[in-house]
Structure 1
Amino acid sequence: MADGLETFAKVRALHDRASTPGEKAAAASRMEVLARSVGMTVAEAVFKLDTPNLKTRAEAMVDAFNELFNSPEARAQRAKVEADRLAKCQEIMTRYDTEQAVFADTPREAALRAACAHIYEPRHDFEGAYRLAGWDPFDGRDKLPASVREAVCHGWPLPVTVAQAFAEFQEAERLEDDRCAINGGDYSSHSWVEARRYVLEELLDSLPARSMRDLRARLAWMQHVLDLGFSRPAEQDQACLNALRGDVDRMGERIRAAEHSPAIQTGHGERGGLKPSRYVGGQEDRLKSQTVQTGHRPTTRAERRAAAAALIAEGLSDREVARRLGISPTTVGTIRRSADSSS
């Protein structure tokens, strides 16, 4: 408040408390002089004093943030986070001799650093900052230069399976978490480490799963992405989904191949010798009798052909007959054609 209005406010208070007309008139006259001194009328000065001092939007946001940040709940939450960090630091130091050892290059990091030495470009706007062939991790995975990709791919052997890729990714994540905790909650990996991480992400999104271990690793990777709590580019999610579809198709082919393997068809596999649910022309009773007498279900070629012919006569499809008998649909088709030609 300007000095003139401060004095005006005091005189106004005297005016309001005055008990005689003379005192009020003197105060009113003084108020006019003070108002003119600041370029206002008495009414404008009174309005100025009575109007609340409105804050700008930015000031209001700052006040709201400070109120929230300094609330008892917020202080308690920060205290818990710090206590958890210190507890984690104690656990970390049981695995390292010194804090310096936590930040020392691993063999892989040292190899990646050396592989990127020829594309290392110091920045002059920030002390200690640098780029790799003009690239910064904040530029993202999609803008990773070919020279950087080649360096981090050849600097250390690439994983060849999904499981290996996820294991390396998890190892790098754990190390960064350790360093972040020791460094007070703030740590950024070197650019060659981030570039390698981007390459691992691409492998996890695209490598075909060749085993159940690979498939579990892919699902764990997808869960990790989901747990991040933010969306990544849709094309990356689509690539991972396409890879998973391919995994499922390959697993399905293996299952179908196992179902139609000779061991299963001859009764030596897990599903060998499955008895059809219904037969016509007395076949079911005959096969039941054989099972009781011999102690095993009929599995000879002649018995299977007879059972297949009976089910075909019921109007079942080749695939359904094959499913019930544990034989190949191709075999059922051959039996069907033979029956048709003889009829």
Structure 2
Amino acid sequence: MSGGATEGERSAARARAEAMAASAGLTLAQAVSSLSGQANPEPVNFFAGFADWMEQKQPGYKAARAKEEAERNTRAAIRRAEILRAFGTLRAFMDPTPLEALLFKAGKPFVTKWVTFEDVCGTRRRHADVMKGTKGRHGLIEDFDPQAVQAVKEAIPFPLGVSAAFEELKQWDRLEKDRALFTGGEYYFDARADLRIELLRDVMRNQPVAGWADLEARFHYKSYDWQQQWIDERAFEDAEWSRVFADFAILRARCDPPADAAQNGHAQFERRTNADKAAQVREMAATFPDLSSREIGRRLGVSPQTVSTWRRKMAEGRRV
């Protein structure tokens, strides 16, 4: 009735609509009113009823999930409070970090699309959405303009090795998770930061190692990358990976033995003293704080309780 190209088409459509309404015992106005009052259909929820189904199969399932969510919310609230104490205001925390500011300045000439939005603290922000060489927000590294890649690399001294790249990558991931605590669980970086992060991941996937530390970082990255898909921390259950990592540790110890073992002319990796184990636990817990006690115990061949004990001592600042 309203979209016809000519008056004749619109009149014919109105006549058909009046006939359809009359067949239902309605005037045209009543028919249109009833249609406009209908609620939009609810979107299909494929998970509807799943919790009830699981409760039947595993009594106590709902209570366990509710407890997990409560604990998760508590951890999030504690972390939010820590962040606000450190930054003073939410806006200060959401503002670009010094590293982001350097990236934004260096990559600005290569931005081809911007988006403006109001963030969680009511601040109007302008983010790079698409960069030169790509057609969308994301793309393969080889799709980006080589000069854009170089600019993002040189804005902040780029890590030279796998181990250093892993450390910077964890900082970006931590920042993303922390900001997501204030934005409903999801946070998206500016495209220039995204490119930097993708370059770091490319190092983790493809750059040859330069030594034992790089190779160990690559082992840890395998477990770390897997854990990023979960909301709550989970142990990385992979027997083959654990065996290969343990073999790596054995070979590293034999090729680069501790000073006392070297003086004796041999390495006794498999026969560690309690002091050796404690030192290894402290080093790994400090280097990879995101790993669970169970995972550290698995890698070093000690019990999770032992790891937890040393972590508690380290947190308390006790002499260890």
Larger helix proportion of the pair: 1
TM-score normalised according to structure 2 size = 0.48
Could you say which structure has the larger radius of gyration? 1
